[in-house]
Structure 1
Amino acid sequence: MTSPDLRHHGDVDAAPGLADFAVNVRVPHPPAWLRDRLAAALDGLGRYPSGQAEERARAAVARRHGRSPDEVLLLNGAAEGFALLPKLAPRCAAIVHPGFTEPEVAFRDAGIPVEHVLLSSDFRLRDVQHDADLVVIGNPTNPTSVLHEAAALKALPGRLVVDEAFMDAVPGEPESLAHDPDVLVLRSLTKTWGLAGLRAGYLLGDPETLARLAHGRPHWPVGSLTLEAITACCEPEALADSARFALEGAEHAAFAVAALGDLVVVPPKGPYLLVRVPRGTREALRDKGIAARRCDTFPGLDDTYLRVAIRPPEEFALFVDALRVVMEELA
């Protein structure tokens, strides 16, 4: 039976009416051009998703990463990819923590033994040892916002699965393994493009493994709007926008780090940061209308950590001011 805490995600912390620093979606809704693309596709909802639309989406993803279309598996959000991983039937799965907990949920629910690989206080890979034949890690890792070197990832023992859900928020994507045919890589489109409610993502890997993962999925596994979103978000114009957003995000992260100072645990590379605060801070922030992601549901962390979504400076200042008041009160 999966621990209920492992199923906790930031959307639960971000209740209506609270200023949301708990969810890592960049914007609250898709940009106008993407809304227009999706709106134009609405008239086709009376038809089943077509094979041609799926082929276009796979081809767009393949071009984006320099892969072939048969190395792309389209998903209803990256989280669906984790649910498919037990089909690989590993003897044991190693999950690098602190990290996203959905892979562990999927393996435990399938009866596959799970081994925790707990990283030390700076949350970087050093001399990692485990007894599993498959290892899952996020890059950049959620919630620590650490970006691991590609060479360090490749040196991990066992079959490698890398969750790159936030990689497009890293300027230049310098440590991505999306091009590597020997690695399974998950990507999400919902964070950058405000599509959390639509669910859009994909898996990159060798054709044989992807066919194994796809076996048994229902017919029409990905809906028409998701296919349109995947195609649109992998086209050159969208990629140029995404690159610009990543650079802006790095500037916003620099402001956040300067504003929070020593509370920041490690310099953030993703669109969120990990802070260390007194116990009771999250609840006190909530009382002041601020939502932050609790971190005691991540193996290796406790309730003195918070994950905070990085926002533009004028928005992030609201969090900084509230946190300053709360820490004075708690002191």
Structure 2
Amino acid sequence: MPTEPVSAPRAPHRPAGPSDPHDLRHHGDAEVRDAGAELLDLAVNVRAGTPPGWLRERIAASLAGLAAYPDGRSARRSVAARHGLPEECVLLTAGAAEAFVLLARALPAGGAGTGRPVVVHPQFTEPEAALRDAGHTVERVLLDGRDGFRLDPALVPSGAPVVVVGNPTNPTSVLHPASALAALARPGRILVVDEAFIDAVPGERESLAPLVMELPGPVVVLRSLTKTWGLAGLRIGYVLSHPETVARLARHQPLWPVSSPALAAAEACCAPAALAEAEDAARRTARDRAYLTGRLAEFGELDAATPDPRAPFVLVRHPGAAVLRERLRGVGVAVRRGDTFPGLDRRWLRLAVRDRETTDRLVRALDGLGVS
């Protein structure tokens, strides 16, 4: 195993500016787009083998009604019932990515109140990109790899009017305790928790969704249906928050922002049978992840970011990760580069969790490339 620190010492607070070297618009799909050959896809975090047949049928059935304008009331009721919240606490969006844009546009330029919006990194980069595009100056809180990228609420400036954090976090696969996240909630602050992968955690442990009406806030929880159900091309997600916040965000949406097929999918994925299927998939993912991390531990040059990953992907470090990524691509395996995430550098790679057969193919590729 490498003996050098997992990440170099650095200041936990750092303003983000135009000279920032990280490509905030780079995402995993870029690793497989225009490949010219079929690649083993370990770069994109959408669950393999999805959407399931029953969901495709529900979506296909909705096409008969395409002549009518979308009506989101039934889907909204289904999402609200799934979370035990009033309908007024739900905003349906064209994927969680749209919600980040709505939040950025709804905030007054420069942030609400004093201080700058804070994004806790490493994490999904779209929240910061949306804030910057809307004219906000963003402050970064960089978590330290030496302690497994764990969240310490004390690192977040007390005057931050907006705080954005992922849970479980992409790409570190860290699941932060709900108590640590709740410690960031306070009157007048908008706490945004990106839970795009929480349905891949058995029991959705550490979710703040049940607490959006109880914590001081407002608290905004973002959910995505694209990862577990294989709907990245359909674009469907939602916001859970106080009714006032939901109404504020909705004012920045265009008319009919979510298509009828996406609404049909949202309603279907909230049904009890679908939730049970998602829970089974989460438990299967946990077993497949344990197998993946066990096989990767056979390679002393690969260093796991955290000893306890909880998302459907894992983050690993390799001293020559940038070269290794290209060599893997050359033998038909696509993995996600890590250096586009603030707080990481060219030594990091993210690998999606797949079934054991796929993991064994990855291990054979690593062996063939002489990784030790």
Q: TM-score, normalised by structure 1?
A: 0.95
AA paired with 1:37?
R
In 2, distance between residues paired with 1:57 and 1:36?
A: 17
- Residue number in structure 2 paired with 1:163: 194
Aligned ranges for residues 70-219 of structure 1 at < 5 Å? Answer: 70-86=88-104, 87-89=106-108, 90-91=111-112, 92-121=116-145, 122-126=148-152, 127-130=154-157, 131-156=159-184, 158-180=189-211, 181=213, 182=215, 183-219=219-255
Deviations 1:69-111 (A, max 9, x none): 1100001000000011121332421000000000000110111
Q: Give the counterpart of 2:57 among 29, 33, 36.
A: 36
Q: Percent of aligned pairs with the same residue?
A: 54
CA apart distance, 1:28: 4.7
Query: Are the counterparts in 2 of residues 88 and 213 from structure 1 also a CA contact under 8 Å?
Result: no
Deviations 1:28-85 (A, max 9, x none): 53100001111111111122113xxx11101111111111111000010000000111
In 1, distance between residues paired with 2:183 and 2:78?
A: 30
3-state DSSP of counterpart to 1:270: coil
Q: Give the counterpart of 2:344 among 279, 301, 304.
A: 301
Q: Are 2:32 and 1:14 aligned?
A: yes
CA apart distance, 1:324: 2.8
3-state DSSP of counterpart to 1:23: coil
Q: Are 2:363 and 1:320 aligned?
A: yes
Structure with a larger share of its residues in helix: 1
- Residue number in structure 1 paired with 2:82: 64
Q: Give the counterpart of 2:305 among 244, 265, 285.
A: 265
Runs of 4+ off more than 4 Å: 1-4
CA apart distance, 1:325: 2.7
Deviations 1:247-293 (A, max 9, x none): 00000011011101163221210000001113211111111111000
In 2, distance between residues paired with 1:323 and 1:156?
A: 41
Q: Give the counterpart of 2:48 among 21, 27, 31.
A: 27
- Residue number in structure 1 paired with 2:354: 311
Q: TM-score, normalised by structure 2?
A: 0.85
In 2, distance between residues paired with 1:31 and 1:216?
A: 33
Q: Are 2:258 and 1:222 aligned?
A: yes
CA apart distance, 1:152: 0.4
Query: Are the counterparts in 2 of residues 136 and 160 from structure 1 also a CA contact under 8 Å?
Result: yes
Query: Are the counterparts in 2 of residues 27 and 193 from structure 1 also a CA contact under 8 Å?
Result: no
In 2, distance between residues paired with 1:285 and 1:93?
A: 38
Count of residues in Structure 1 that have an aligned counterpart in Structure 2: 326
In 2, distance between residues paired with 1:88 and 1:208?
A: 14
Q: Are 2:304 and 1:246 aligned?
A: no
Query: Are the counterparts in 1 of residues 93 and 237 from structure 2 also a CA contact under 8 Å?
Result: yes
- Which structure 1 residue ranges, 5 or more long, are not aligned? none
Aligned-residue Cα RMSD (Å) equals: 1.5
In 2, distance between residues paired with 1:260 and 1:313?
A: 12
Query: Are the counterparts in 2 of residues 185 and 205 from structure 1 also a CA contact under 8 Å?
Result: yes
